[in-house]
A and B are shown apart, each in its own frame.
Chain A
Amino acid sequence: MTDGGRPETSRSAAEQIDFKRELTQVVPHLRAFARGLCGRPDLADDLVQETLLKAWAAQDRFEPGTSMRAWTFVILRNAYLTDMRRNRFRGEYDEGVAERILTAPAGQEEPLHLSDLHRALLTLPAERREALLLVGAGGFSYEEAAAICGCAVGTIKSRVGRARATLTEMLANGAIPRRSTDDDVAHRAILEELDEVAAGNGVSTRG
C-alpha cells in the first residue's frame, strides 16, 4: 500500500502488521460479546464486521501494548448503541444455538437451559446486559468494564449486581418474558440495512 501521509503520525509497516495480528486475535471475542449484546448471530457478526472496519480506520489511535480486546469492545459497544438507537436490534436471540449447547452443570438437579439464560439476558436493559457480559462472561475486572463503558466503577458494580439479581429471580421463577418476534417485515428491513453496512457502504457515513 502507498504511504501518502506523514511518517511521524502513521503506523510503520511493522506496527500495522502487529495491529492486524492483534485485531485478528480478538475477533472471536468480539463475536461473543456482540452475540451476547444483540442475540442474533447474523446481526452480531455484522456488528463485528463494522467494528473491524472502524478499528482499522482508527488504528492510529490504538496505543500499542494496551488491551486490543478492551479497545475494540469500546468500538463495538458504540456501534451497537448507535444501531440500538436506530432500533436495529430488538433483543432477538437464536434458540438453535443456545439449545445445542444446552448444559447440565455437574451435580445440579435441574439442568440449566442456556437458551433460557440467553433469553433472560436479552430482556435486561442494555446497560446492565453489557456490564454483566463484560464482567461475568468476558472476564473483565470492574475497573476494565468501567473504562470500556465510560462510567464509574461503582456504576458497573451496581449494574452487574442488578443484572445478576434479575436473572437469578427470572431463572428461579421460570418467568422469562418473551420478546416480540413476530414482526418479520421490520426485521427484513433491518437485515437489508445491515447488509449495506456489511458491504462497506455504511461505515463512514454513520451518525
Chain B
Amino acid sequence: MASNQSQGADGDSREGTGRGRAPEWADGLKQLYDAVVEEALPDSFKDLLDRLEGVPPTRGTGDRKDADT
C-alpha cells in the first residue's frame, strides 16, 4: 500500500481528497487525453478553420443557447 503521508508533498492536493492516493490509472487517463492532444491535426480541421473566415458570425439571433452556460 502506498497510503503514506506523501499527500500534499508535491503540492497537488487534487488527487488527495478524501479517497486516499490517486488511483494507479490516473496517469493513464491523462495519457489518453494527452496522446490525442499531441496527434497531428487532420487536414479536415485546417480546411474547416480556413473556411470559417468566409462564414459571418451570427449576431443577435439569440435562439441558440449552446455558447452560454
Residues of A within 8 A of B (CB): 1-2, 4-5, 9-11, 16, 20, 23-24, 27-29, 31-33, 35-36, 45, 48-49, 52-62, 71, 74-75, 78-79, 97-98, 101, 103, 105, 108, 112, 114, 117-118, 121, 132-133, 135-138, 141, 147-148, 150, 157, 161, 164-165, 167-168, 171, 198, 204
Contact = CB atoms under 8 A, between A and B. Distances in A.
A37 B3 CA distance: 31
- Grouping DSSP codes into helix (H, G, I), strand (E, B) and loop, the B interface class, with mixed when no group exceeds half, is loop
A57 B33 contact: no
B38 A28 contact: yes
Contacts of A136: 26, 29-30
Interface of B: 14, 17-19, 23-39, 41-42, 44-45, 48-49, 52-60, 64-69
A28 to B, nearest CB: 4
A171 B32 contact: no
Contacts of B25: 112, 117, 167-168, 171
Contacts of B48: 49, 52-53
